[in-house]
Structures are given as structure tokens and as C-alpha cells.
Amino acid sequence: MIGFIITSFFIILFVVRLYKNAFKRPLETFPPGPPSLPVYGAYWIILLREINNLGGSLRKLAKDYKTKVLGLYLGKYPAVVVDDPKLIKQYLYNVDFDGRLDIIITRMRSFWKRLGIFFTDGYFWHVQRRFTLRYMRDFGFGRRDESLETVIANEIHEMIDMARNGPKYPAEKEMVKGDLIYLQHFFAVPFINGLLHIFTRTTIPRPEYHSLWDMARKTMLFQRGSNDLGGALTLTPWLKDIMPNYSGFADLDKGNKNLLDYFHKLIKKTSRSQEDTHDRNFLDIYIRKIKEEQKTGNRTTFTEEQFQLVCTDYMFPTATATESTLTLLIERLLLHPEVQDKIHEEIDRVVGRDRLPTLDDRQNMPYTEACIREIMRYETLVPLGVPHRAMKDSKMDGYDIPENTIVLFNYVSLHHNKELWGDPENFRPERFIENGKLQLSKDKSLPFGAGKRLCAGETYARQSMFQVFAAFMQAFTVSTADGKPLKKPGRKIQGIITSLPEFWVRVTPRY
């Protein structure tokens, strides 16, 4: 009897403790939200709602709690999700929320330190971002550059030749089989070689494309190794030691090391051949800055490890996000053949078939450009963006947000808001066009974020995606591999970015 009473007492204490923890809030004036369950907090509830659509799941939770700012716990970490279009734009421009998280995923990719640009903040981030953008711009990053456009055009020629005339080298057989091409990595080379040209003023020749496809595969492995919120690995980092494969750590580590090793070798090679009289490329400029800082003996943010992370940070979205966007767009064309017909008509009318489309044609091809913008709105490649962190105790829509709170911006709510878009559930490029012209004022989407944390590669991505997509569509008509109409979209992989499993499509030359 005594044993029963003691056992019952401890059970009651345990239940009371669970109940209190479930409804704990960091502050009484913290935003409303779901209860916190053991170990992973509200993360359990988010996954139960929609495991492969976290942005959609959080959107439903915000509606359930009738709030524009959702408050919850992710494991032991307090977090808020901004779920209102106006508030998203407002607080993206608020520097109080420009911090980044110090978590296992950001540490493991940077020698277990806080390095790079994407996942750092404060003075370190400011110095590195300003320096890299200042000098990368000189080599075409973020502006029109004839040399860069020519390089990408040359890579497009090779891409089209590969699909039209078949493989020339063994590795190409993995991308092209007869009239079938393998998406999404088929698109990778122009984007990666374009960025390498900015870094080094050189590119990888076609016989060595296998190295670029390997980079794309490994980088995508990292992107798919964790979901938007960092998942179980972030909330319980000890999983990396007991189940590295299941937790995603092995894929994250493998994908990241590929890029770090690549840029380590490239930096060493560039350093050995560096000349004292002039800077040949961006790598020369950064290496020279490292040497200058070392001579002073002062503490500096410029180190070789940091340089590897700078290159890696710019390459990750280049090798994955751009090709994923175009792959998702190709899938839409298979679902909406009439859209493909309109693109072909515009290209034939504006460019013809005797030359490749260029960036000068972009202003005269509003429908093609609108298709790229619409797929970024419709699919929302990074549904919750890169997580932010409150830099200090702050206010948000009347609620109190403690310092170090995780801040997530739900771009799905912005991109699928009925009041903003009218029919957000429809893929309709015409929404950006008026009187035959592209109206940028109608594009309220934020696929690259906003504020000081705006993606530094936005201009490069938009320009290069137009070049690649317009040229590809000029050359080919796309259909399903089996020739049957596509009835519904494929299953999405929800990693750091949204992507499709690789699939084969049939391309028929148009000339």
C-alpha cells in the first residue's frame, strides 16, 4: 500500500511537471502558440500537422491561435514565427532581428567555429559581407558584366549541345540518355562555372564537368540533410554521435566537406601562383588581404578558414537553389503545357532562333521573366528563410521578444496570401504583367529575403536563371519521359531548400 502511494505521488508530480512545462512561456507577454512537449517542444506538433511542409504547418497553427506572430518552444529554445505579410516585411528591415543562430549545423560546417557570412552576425558579418561584395562586384557579381555573360553563354552552348547531340565524355552519360535529360543537376554547370569565373576568372572545361556535377550532388546532400528548423539534430545535437545517418549529420558533413576541400585546394593553388604586381581575380584580393592582416599582428576576421567559408557560402545556393528553381519550373511546364507554348512564342518573336537570348532581351520578354518570378512565389524555395535571432530584448507586434529568441519568417504565408495575390493557389505568370510589360511593383514576393540580410546573390541568381532558362526553352520542347501528360506535381523533398527528387524529362529540339 505504501509503495502504491509513493508511486502514485511521483506519477502525479511528473504529470504536474509536464503540464507546467507544456504551457510555460519565456514571458507573460510572449506571443501565443502551441504547448511544449518533452524534448522537442512544439516541434512535435509542427511535424504532426504537415511533416513535408513546415511553412504550411506553421501557417495553420497561426490561424488556430488567431495570431500574426506565433510563439512556441523548439526544444529548449523560445521561437517566434512571423506569419503576416506586412509584419514579415516590417521586421525583416528591423536590425534587432538580424542575428543568426549558434547551433550545431552552423558550427559543424565551419571547423566548429562561427565563420562565413550566412550564419554569422554583428561586426564579423558586417566586415566580411561588405568586403566580399565590394570586390566580387568588380568581377561581375551583382551587376551587368560582359565577360561573365559571355562565360555563361558559352556554358549554355555546351549544355544545349550535350542534350541535342549526346554525351562526349563518360560523366555526361549520367546526365543525358538519348533524348532524356536528368534534372536537376543537368542545369548546374552554367551557374557553378559562372561563380568560379567571378572567383578566379577561369572556368572548368567540359571534359572536367564531372567535378562540377559531383559538387552539385554533394551540395544538395547538405541541403537535404536537415529541414528548415534544423530538426532533431539542432534540438538534440548528441544524435550525431549515436545515429549520424538517421539524424542527417553524416549527409551534412559529407556535403559540406566536399566544398571546403575544393576551396582549400583552390585557395592554395591561387596563393602559390599569386603575383606581387597586380590582382588577377577575387581570390587574389582576399589572399592579399589575409597577408596584410597577418603582418599587423592584430586580431582579424580575415583568415584562410574564413575564406574557405566565404567561398562555400556563395557556392551553396549557386549549386543548388538556382537549378532547383528551374527544375520546379520545368515541372510546372509539364503540368501546364500552355505556359510552355507562350514561352516559345515569346522567344521566337523577340529573339528568333539564330542566336541565344541575352540579358538585353530580358526587358522584352516579360512572360519568360514572369514565369521565373511566379515559380519562386508559388513554390517558395526556402519556406522559412535562414532563421534569424533577436539581438536584444525587443518588441514585435506588441509582444515582448527576449534576446536570443529564434525568429522565423513564414514566406509561405506571404507568397500564398489571398488578399495579396487574389488566386495564390494558381500558377499564373500573367499576374506580373500589365499592358504587355513586366510590372515589378506587382511582385510582392520575397524569395531572396529583404533588409540587411537580403541574399547577396539575388542579382546573380536572377540574371543567370534568365539566361539559362530562356536559352534552354529556345532550344527544346520539354515533355515527360514516358510521353504521358503529367497529372499532378511530384513529391517534394523539404530540406533547407525545397527540391524535387531528380527525374528524367524528354527534350525535343525545336531547330
| CA angle in degrees (0–180, nearest 5) for 117-122-124 | 55
311 is in an annotated binding site: no
* Cβ-Cβ contacts under 8 Å for 3 (sequence gap 6 or more): none
28 by DSSP, 3-state: which?
coil
Grid coordinates in use for 339?
Answer: 505556359
Closest CA to 401 of 50, 87, 35, 53: 87
- Cα(375)–Cα(364) distance, rounded to whole angstroms? 20
- Cα(258)–Cα(193) distance, rounded to whole angstroms? 16
- Cα(365)–Cα(342) distance, rounded to whole angstroms? 11
Grid coordinates in use for 496?
Answer: 533547407
Q: Is the dihedral of CA 377, 379, 381, 385 positive or negative?
A: positive
Q: How many CA atoms lie within 13 A of 102 on its CB side?
A: 9
Closest CA to 97 of 86, 109, 111, 87: 87
| CA angle in degrees (0–180, nearest 5) for 373-212-189 | 40
| Pairing assessment for the beta strands 388-389 and 394-396 based on DSSP bridges | unpaired
| HEC string for 104-131 | HHHHHCCCCCCCCCCCCCHHHHHHHHHH
- Cα(253)–Cα(260) distance, rounded to whole angstroms? 10
8 Å CB contact between 143 and 136: no
Q: Is the dihedral of CA 323, 324, 325, 330 positive or negative?
A: positive
Q: What is the DSSP string of 65-114?
A: TT-SEEEEEETTEEEEEE--HHHHHHHHT-GGG-B----HHHHHTTTTS-
- Cα(85)–Cα(88) distance, rounded to whole angstroms? 5
8 Å CB contact between 176 and 167: yes
- Cα(383)–Cα(386) distance, rounded to whole angstroms? 9
Phi then psi dihedrals of residue 356, to 5 deg: -80, 150
Number of neighbouring beta carbons within 10 Å of residue 349 = 10
8 Å CB contact between 237 and 244: no
Q: Output the known binding site for heme.
A: 455
Q: Output the known binding site.
A: 455
